Each structure stands twice: as C-alpha cells, then as structure tokens.
Amino acid sequence: MIDNLPEDIINLIFNNLEENNPCKYDMAKVSFLKMDINFILSLKGVNRFFKRYIEEKEDMWIQINKKNYLESYQNIDPTPGAIIDSRSSQINDLCLKNTPCHVFRWLMDNNIVLSQKNIDYLIVKNRVDVVKTGFHYQEFLKTIFNKFHLAASNDIFGISQNTSPMITAVKYDRVEIVKLLLESSSYGNPFVDQIESIFIEAIKYIHRGTLSYLIVNHYDRLSQTIDRKFSSLIMRFNNIEDILFYIVVNNKSDVKRDTMKSLISKNYIELFQHCYIKYGYDKFKNNSDLLSKCIEYNCFVLFDYLMTKNSYINPSEFSAHFLSKRRHNIVFVNMILDKYLDLIPLKEKLITMCIREKIDDKRISHLILQGYHYDEKDIIEVLNVKNLQLAKTMINSYSNIP
C-alpha cells in the first residue's frame, strides 16, 4: 500500500508524474513546473491518504519569476509567461464553479498565482470569501491592486481596453467586493483616488447597490460629483426614490427647477412634494412648466397636488398640451373632467378626445350640456359603436351648438 511508503519515496513518485520535471530526483519535497493542476486535485478522490497527503502540501509548484527565471528551467520551457498563462487557464473553471474557498487557499499556498482573469471570474461569481482569503497573499494583492491596470490618476475607466477588478465589481454590482477594494486599505490604495470615476461607472451601469453604498459611505469624496450628477441619477435609474430622499434630506444636493421636472418624469410623488416645500417652489404660482411636465408623463397625482397649491397654467397652454397627447391616462382625464374643466375652453375638441378614449357616457353628456364643441364626425363615431343613447343626446343638442 502506498500509504505505508516513506514520505520521501512518495515525493519522488509525485515528482516523476511530470514529464521533464527539473526536480524529478528530489525526494525532500514535491516541486512541479508544468504539472496539470486539475490532475493533482483529482488525485484527492483516489482515497483518504491521497486527499490528506495533497491537502497538507505547500509550495508544490515552483514559483515563476519572469525577471529571475532560473537557467535550469530554460531547457524545459524558455517561456515563463506561457507557464503562468497555462496555470491561470487551468483554474478558470474552478473560478467559475462553486469551488470551496479552501481549494483556493490551497492553490495559493502552493504558489499558484491567480491572474487578473481568474480574479475577474471570481468577482463575477461574487466570491467575496475567496477575495477576502486572497488578501492574505502578497501575489494576490499585487495583482488586484496593480496600478498598471489603471489609466490616468483621475479616470480608471479612460482606457476602454483596460480591465481591473474594480471595473468588474462595478459592472456586475458586486457591492461587497467594491467595499473590500475601497476599504481594505486607505494607504497606497489606488482605488480610493478613483472614487469619482467609480461613482460615474455605477451610474453608467445603472446599479443601485453600488450607487447606494458609495453615496452613503463616501459622500465626503463625492459631494461635488453627486450634486453635478443628481439629475442624471434621476433620469438613468428607476425606483431609487429612497436613495434620492437620502441625498435631499441630508442636504447633499441642491434641487433646481429642472431637477423638479425630472422628479415628475419618474413620478416620485413624495420626494417631489418634499422638495417643492423645502426649496420654496410653493412660493411660485405660475408653474406652467411643471404642470406641463405632469401632462407629458401622466402624473395626475402631482398635477392635482400643484393645482391644490394654487399653481396656475394658461387654459390655452393646458389645452394645447393635454389634447395633443396621442395616448391619455383615463384616471387623469376623468380628474380633469371632474375638477379642472375650466382649464379647457368650450371651443376645444374635448368631446372628440373623450369619445376616442372611451370616456363614460355620463361625463360626455355633461360636456355636451356644458356646450363643448363637437361635429357630425363625432356623432357618426358614436353611432358606429352603436351607442344609441349617447348619439341621441348629441343629436338633440347639436342644433343648439353655436
């Protein structure tokens, strides 16, 4: 049985598993140069002895240093870079699978350096546990905080071909990994100086997790950028009213009138109402621009709110916006008919719109009695859908229309 053999004999056997192993006669330890990593891992499944023997080993693979590649290895393979790439390629599948963290610890204990690509795969899979483990290994830290992957000091994303773990973490909204990269060290950490670019990238990829973390935890470094990009945040993201509330309540941005229009476009009702009072917009009565934006985006709640605050819009301007819409919100239309009919002059084709939008007969009949304009085409349209009762009302009143 192999488990009865002395360890130096077993070391010799393992060294001879690799063809052209420069350490094939070394009995003191196992030293591989180009041995297949996955093959050695597979041997753990042979029996308990192999599992224990392999898991207890360290430094099984020879460290590769491009600048100081030993002459004794040159005869076997003169391209150390190719060996490094091969090792990286062999563990790609491990990075993409749910490989236990202790396997990666074993790899790093055995001089297998995770490449940038390996780390990117781990980030995509959100392997926070492996990244944390890697922080205990110098070569891992050199790779993950390698300034070579950064562009100019004020823009790590300026070079489109560049990759870095931070770019990958932001792209896939891996908040815990973004946090690790930013907070693991403040001294000499290249990503801390790139916080503005990281924030902009989070906006680009529309990731609310990373965005929220950056705003809450790194506001001091982002205050000017947040204020400058506030409208962009509103327009690019959906359902982030809570984040925007945090910014506004903590006075982290100045809400301008264009910002108020953006809030309407996203139908952020409570935030709009808060900002309307906080920033003194309730002092302005001519709010035709805000009311028009409510019409454009069918924000009937905010329209009603503004009108109850004594906002004003010229009836001709309102009619032009409201009646020219191709599609109407029925709730909005009914609210206008019930509460704000005085905003639409009698000469406008309000009844035509109501027939097209299938507004109920009671409301259309009320418009007829109020004297709103309609013509023969409208009557024919009602007859075509066999609404005889409404057609009768329209015909009986038609002769009375000026």
The dihedral over CA atoms of 297, 301, 307, 311, expressed in degrees to the nearest 10, equals -50
264 pLDDT exceeds 80?
yes
Domain end marker among 37, 71, 90:
90
In a domain, 29, yes or no: yes
Record the pTM. 0.81
pLDDT surpassing 70 at residue 44: yes
* 222-243 confidence digits (pLDDT tens): 988 998 899 889 999 999 999 9
Q: Do the domain assignments include residue 107?
A: no
pLDDT in tens, 296-340: 999 999 999 999 999 999 999 999 999 999 889 999 999 999 999
Mean pLDDT computed over 166-181: 95
pLDDT for position 160: 36
pLDDT in tens, 81-132: 788 889 999 999 999 999 999 999 999 999 999 999 999 999 999 999 999 9
Assess contact for 361 and 389: CB atoms under 8 A. Answer: yes
| Distance between CA atoms of residues 91 and 118, nearest Å | 7
Query: In the listed set 90, 120, 153, which residue is the last one of a domain according to the structure?
Result: 90
Task: Identify whether 304 is part of a domain.
Answer: no
Q: How far from 239 is each of 75, 245, 273, CA to CA, in Å?
A: 62, 11, 17
How do residues 1-32 score in pLDDT, each as one tens digit?
676 788 888 888 888 888 877 777 778 888 88
Residue 23 in any domain: the answer is: yes
Establish if 174 belongs to a structural domain. Answer: no
372 pLDDT band, cuts 50/70/90, is very high
Number of domains making up the chain:
2
Q: 136-169, pLDDT tens digit by residue?
A: 999 999 899 887 655 544 554 443 345 789 999 9
**Domain-located, residue 155:** no
- d(Cα 3, Cα 293) in Å, to the nearest integer? 80
Query: What pLDDT is attached to residue 149?
Result: 55
Residue at a domain's end among 56, 90, 124: 90
Q: Are 378 and 363 in contact (CB under 8 A)?
A: no
pLDDT at residue 397, rounded to an integer:
87
Q: Cα angle vertex 118, ends 87, 190, to 5°?
A: 120
Residue 378 lies inside a defined structural domain of this protein: yes
**Predicted pLDDT at 78:** 57
Share of the chain above pLDDT 70, in %: 90
216 is a domain residue = no
pLDDT of residue 82: 83
Residue 153 pLDDT: 47
Segments forming the whole domain that contains residue 402: 347-402
